[in-house]
A = this chain, B = another copy of it.
Amino acid sequence: MAEPLRFVRPIAASTSSEVFEHLRALIVRGEWLPGRRVSENEVARSLGLSRTPVREAFIRLRQEGLIQVYPQSGTVVSPIDLGEVEDCQFLRETLECRTVALAAERCTARDAADLKRLIERQLECCAPGREAEFVAADDEMHRRLVAISGRTAIWRVVRDAKAQLDRVRHLSLENPAWIERNVNEHRRIIARVVAHDAGGATQAMRKHLRNVFQSIERISREHGEFFQQVSAGP
């Protein structure tokens, strides 16, 4: 038998994983709008693959709540559930406010330099047409703050919640000034973290997340067509 598994492994990305990342990005960036009908066959054809890797990607997307599969009938990009969006905001605020406080306590000089570099990168994205880059940098900064806090496993959860929120954000092409305001808020957070001011960092983070959520709520009101009412189970 081929028993042991002592892999120091590189772990090549499989086709299936690539498809998953690709489709996930399409959904989060709003290129596949909520409610859109999709099918394994169609995607497989368009990518020149068999159904298998596409199907495996679908399974993961379903588990993350990004699509809804109705056997023998069809699959749709999940409509946005306002209650779930609010829960995601609650989750983010709860977790990131605590991790950013930890990050403030543990932040080293090297971390501080990294964070400042990330802010620079965000500033460069304050040009029209570079929103996608900013979103990536935004993700990276939040991820980095969680990493500095030492609770690395938390990121996975925050990332999934953030995806749901970003999905709403992408329903609307926002005012370009939006990026600048975000960078400023990020700067305030980083300043408190670098200064080892846990309380200040928490407040800055909370304010930032609430501002983001405010625009999400506005967008929700403007795009009711993508939302679904949902059972308020017992």
A residues contacting B by CB (< 8 A) are 2-3, 5, 7, 9, 11-12, 14, 37, 56, 59-60, 63, 70-71, 73-74, 76, 83-84, 86-88, 90-91, 94-95, 98, 147, 151-154, 157, 232-234
Q: What distance in Å separates the Cβ of A71 from its nearest Cβ neighbour in chain B? A: 7
CA distance A20 to B152 in the complex (A): 26
Contact A153 B88 (CB under 8 A): yes
Q: What does DSSP make chain A's interface, helix, strand, loop or mixed? A: mixed
A71: contacting residue among B11, B86, B95, CB under 8 A: B11
Given A56-B56, A91-B151, 9 more pairs with CB closer than 8 A: A3-B37, A11-B71, A59-B59, A59-B60, A84-B153, A90-B151, A91-B154, A95-B95, A157-B157
A91-B157, A157-B157 known; A83 vs B5 contact (CB < 8 Å): no
A87: contacting residue among B2, B12, B56, B154, CB under 8 A: B154
Contact A83 B153 (CB under 8 A): yes
Q: What distance in Å separates the Cβ of A230 from its nearest Cβ neighbour in chain B? A: 9
Q: Which residues of B contact A86 (CB under 8 A)?
A: 151
CA distance A14 to B56 in the complex (A): 15
Q: What distance in Å separates the Cβ of A198 from its nearest Cβ neighbour in chain B? A: 15
* Chain B residue nearest in CB terms to A16: B59
CA distance A37 to B3 in the complex (A): 8
Q: List 9 A-B contacts (CB under 8 A).
A: A2-B74, A5-B73, A5-B74, A56-B59, A59-B60, A87-B153, A91-B157, A94-B94, A157-B157
Q: Which residues of B contact A3 (CB under 8 A)?
A: 37, 74
A11: contacting residue among B60, B70, B88, B147, CB under 8 A: B70
Give the interface centre of A74, A86, A232 by most chain B CB atoms within 10 Å: A74
Q: Which residues of B contact A11 (CB under 8 A)?
A: 70-71
A154: contacting residue among B12, B14, B90, CB under 8 A: B90
Contact B70 A9 (CB under 8 A): yes
Closest 6 CB pairs of A and B: A87-B153, A84-B153, A87-B151, A5-B74, A7-B70, A157-B157
